[in-house]
Structure 1
Amino acid sequence: MTVYGYRVPMMASLLAWCLIWELVGQSGLMFLLPPLSSVVAAGIAMVQTGTWQAAALITLHSFAVGMVLAIVAGVALGVLMGRFKAVDELFSIWVNIFVSAPLSALVPVLMILFGMGETTVIVTVFLFAVWIIVLDTRAGIQHVPNSLIEMGRCYGASPFALYGKIVLLAALPEILAGIRLGLVRGVKGVVIGQLLVAIIGYGELFELYSRSFDMENFWALTIILFAAAMLMSAAIEYIEKKIDYYAGVR
């Protein structure tokens, strides 16, 4: 952004909103919005407690298992849909339905099927993340030129080598884009799942802080989640930029 001929870094916008938050909090106009300095202090104290560390481990485990399953299943189904028209016609309508559907409404159904525990949260993360990974992988596979595949076959590449060294690498930019979007949706899924289950992980802490009107810890926990999602997204985006030459060669 440029203001009066001077380039203003993007971080300036974040700092401006932090300043507004601090001023509004210090003014006492809104009980639900404490000063940002108090939120930061509460967050520093909170991450040192055993309660937060135990909840973070539970949340991280649910998120990691759900995301690994979503990436494996999403990439596999996306490759099949991108390469085989029959598979694409069979699954495309369902993938598009689940991408656009309000998946939060399915969590109570998952609680009935899988109980009030971590399994429900893992399945919620999976459902939130997998569909966008499928769509982006499918798009990447469909953009792989047939000439690359024919070249591999001419040189005697086995099916494993053909997909592992040619097709997947050529589609890698779109696959990583899908994984990056899936990570963000997965964070949403783990929070929604734990909030509705409300007995494990971050969901238990959110329920505790909101019920006791401990807004400093509530906002600190929210900021930690936002920061984690942004860092994971930025890490995948960095990897995307490093492998952009695959798209150029393709």
Structure 2
Amino acid sequence: MTLFGFRIPMMASLLVWAVVWEIVGRLDVIFLIPPMTEIIEAGIRLVQTGSWQNATLITLRSFALGMTLAIGVGVPLGILMGLFKSVDNLMSLWVNMFVSAPLSALVPILMILFGLGETTVVVTVFLFAVWIIVLDARAGVMQVPRSLFEMGRSYGAGPWTLFSKIILLSALPEILAGVRIGFIRGVKGVVIGQILVSILGYGELFELFSRNFEMASFWALTILLFAAAMILSAIVEHFETKIEYYAGARA
């Protein structure tokens, strides 16, 4: 962004919003919005507590397990849908239905099936993330030109070589894009799952802070979650830029 001839970093907009938030908080217009300085102070105190550290470990474990399952299922399924029309016809309806469905409404059903524990949160993360990963992996495979298959066969490439050297590498940009979006959706899933379960991880802390009207701590925890999602997205995006030439090679 350029203002009056000077290039301003995009992160500067966060500082502007922080100043606006501080002013609104100081005016005491809404008790739900404390000043930003109080939120920062609460965040510093929060990360030093054992309750936050234990909640973070539980949340990271649930998120990691759910995302591992989502990637392990979503990428192969998307590749199969892109390669085989029969698999695509069988699964595309269900995948598109779950992508557009309000998955939050399924969490109470998951609580009945899996109980009020970490398993429910892991399954919630999986359901939130897997479908977009499937769709992006499918799109990546379907964009691989058939001429590359013919070229590979003409040079004597076997099925595994075709898959590993042509299909997988050519589809890698879309696969990573799906994983990046899946990470963001997975963060949403772990938070929603823990909030509805309300007895473990960040869900327990959110319930505690909201019940006691500790809004500074509530917002501090929210900002920490947003920051974690942005960092995960930036890490995957960094890897995307490293393999962009594969997408160019398909043209």
TM-score with structure 1 setting the length: 0.97
Structure-1 residue corresponding to 2:201 = 201
Amino acid at match of 1:15: L
Quick one: which amino acid aligns to residue 46 of structure 2?
M
Match of 1:15 in 2: 15
Tell me what 2:85 maps to: 85
TM-superposed deviation, 1:166: 1.6
Matched, 1:226 2:223: no
One-letter amino acid matched to 1:99: V
Distance in 2 separating the partners of 1:131 and 1:242: 25
CA distance in 2, matches of 1:232, 1:154: 41
Tell me, in whole angstroms, the C-alpha distance in 1 between the residues paired with 2:164 and 2:42.
48
Match of 1:112, as an amino acid? I
Taking the aligned partners of 1:81 and 1:35, their CA distance within structure 2 comes to 50
Which one-letter code corresponds to 1:8 in the other structure? Answer: I
Mapped pair 1:176 → 2:172: no
Residue identity in the other structure for 2:152:
G
Residue in structure 2 matched with residue 76 of structure 1 by the alignment: 76
1:116 equivalenced with 2:116 (yes/no):
yes
- Distance across 1 between alignment mates of 2:239 and 2:172: 10
Deviation at 1:156, TM superposition (A): 3.2
Further displaced range: 21-30 or 111-120: 21-30
Q: Which runs of 5+ in 1 are unaligned?
A: none
TM, length-normalised to structure 2 = 0.97
Structure 1 residue aligned with 2:51:
51
Identity of aligned residues (%): 69
In the alignment, structure 2 segments of 5+ residues that lack a partner are none
- What letter matches 2:90 in structure 1? L
Amino acid at match of 1:170: S
Does residue 190 of structure 2 align to residue 190 of structure 1?
Answer: yes
The residue number in structure 1 matching 2:39 is 39
Q: Distance in 2 between matches of 1:151 and 1:202?
A: 52
Which deviations, in whole Å up to 9, do the C-alpha atoms of 1:32-75 show, x marking residues without a partner? 11111111111111111111000000000000000011011110
Q: CA deviation at 1:78?
A: 0.3
How far did 1:8 drift? 2.6
Alignment partners' CA distance in 2, 1:157 and 1:53: 51
SS state at 2:39 partner = helix
- 1:40 is paired with a residue whose SS is helix
Distance in 2 separating the partners of 1:65 and 1:151 = 39
AA aligned to 1:177 is: A
- Is 1:139 matched up with 2:139? yes
Aligned partners of 1:151 and 1:36: how far apart in 2? 59
CA–CA distance in structure 2, aligned partners of residues 158 and 107 of structure 1: 44
Return the offset for 1:12: 1.9
The Cα of 1:30 is off from its aligned counterpart by 1.4
What code does the residue aligned with 2:72 have?
V
Tell me, in whole angstroms, the C-alpha distance in 2 between the residues paired with 1:74 and 1:152. Answer: 26
Q: Provide the residue aligned with 2:210 in structure 1.
A: 210
Report SS of the residue matched to 1:171. helix
Q: How far, CA to CA, are the matches of 1:68 and 1:161 in structure 2?
A: 25
RMSD (CA atoms) = 1.1
Q: In structure 2, what is the Cα distance between the partners aligned to 1:45 and 1:175?
A: 39
- Bigger Cα displacement from structure 2, 20-29 vs 146-155: 146-155
Paired with 1:59 and 1:223, the residues of 2 have a C-alpha distance of 15
Please state whether the residue corresponding to 1:21 is helix, strand or coil: helix
User: Number of matched residues?
Assistant: 250
